[in-house]
Amino acid sequence: MADIPPEFRGQPRSLAAMFAQVTTDARESLAIKRIVLAEPGTTHQGIWTVSRRDGSEFRSHFSCRIFAEARPGEPDRRVARGISQEVAMPRRGEPEPIVLLEHKLLESSTRPGEFRALINLQNLRLIRWVHGSAVPERIAWQGGAGEPEPMVHPEDRRVMIDMAKGLDRSSTAGTLRVRGVDGDWIRIDATANLVALERDVTAALVMFTLAELDT
C-alpha cells in the first residue's frame, strides 16, 4: 500500500525514509518527541497522507509502539512496530490537511543547494529531512540493501560530537565527511541549531551544503 521500493521491502525501514513519504499533521512534534525519548511501551497513532512513487496519494491511519529489542553483548535496540490502514480521502469541499505555518517559513528560507535535516541528539542519527528541503541524492541515508550504511567519517566524528555538545551555548558549525551512495566520502559544510520539541526534549536542525567529493 505504501509503495515501498522493492529493494527496501522485508527489512527495517529508516525513520527518515518514512518521513520523506508522508505529509504529517499538527501532532508531528509529539511524534518526534517520542522518537527521541524512545521509551519502550510508548504508543503513537494518527492519520497522515502518504505519497506513492507514481504521484498518487492516500490517507493512512497508523498505530505503532516502541519496543526494546535485546541484542547479546550489545545495548538494547529501540524499534517501532505498527500497522497502517488506508482510510477514505476527504470528499470535495472538505478541509484540506493543515499546512503548518512553521513549515511555510522553513520552505521560504531554504537557500538553493542547501539541505536541512532534523537530527536526534541522543544518538546523532537522522530523524527526517525538513519541510522544503530537497533530499540529497548523493548521500547514503536510507540504510537499505544495496546502499552503504549511513555514517560520518571516523576522523570527523569528534567534530560532529563537539558540534552537538556546543548547542547548549549557541549554534555550531563544522566541516564533515559523510558516506555517499557510491561508497565514497562527501564533504559537507554544516551549521547546527538547537530545536526545542518540548520543554525538556531537544533535537538539532542541521543545515548543510555539499562540497567536493573525496576519493
- CATH match of 6-210 with 3.40.50.2000: no
Separation CA 31–CA 26 (nearest Å): 10
pTM of the model: 0.68
Separation CA 184–CA 75 (nearest Å): 29
Bigger pLDDT: 180 vs 95: 180
pLDDT in tens, 21-78: 888 877 788 888 888 888 888 888 888 888 888 888 888 888 888 998 888 888 888 8
- Dihedral angle over CA of 109, 201, 149, 114, nearest 10: 10
Separation CA 199–CA 91 (nearest Å): 38
pLDDT in tens, 10-25: 677 788 888 888 888 7
Domain boundaries, the chain: 6-210
Q: List helix spans (H) across 38-194.
A: 101-109, 157-166
pLDDT given for residue 133 in this prediction: 74
- Inter-residue contact 196 to 202 (CB < 8 Å): yes
| 3-state class (DSSP) for residue 26 | coil
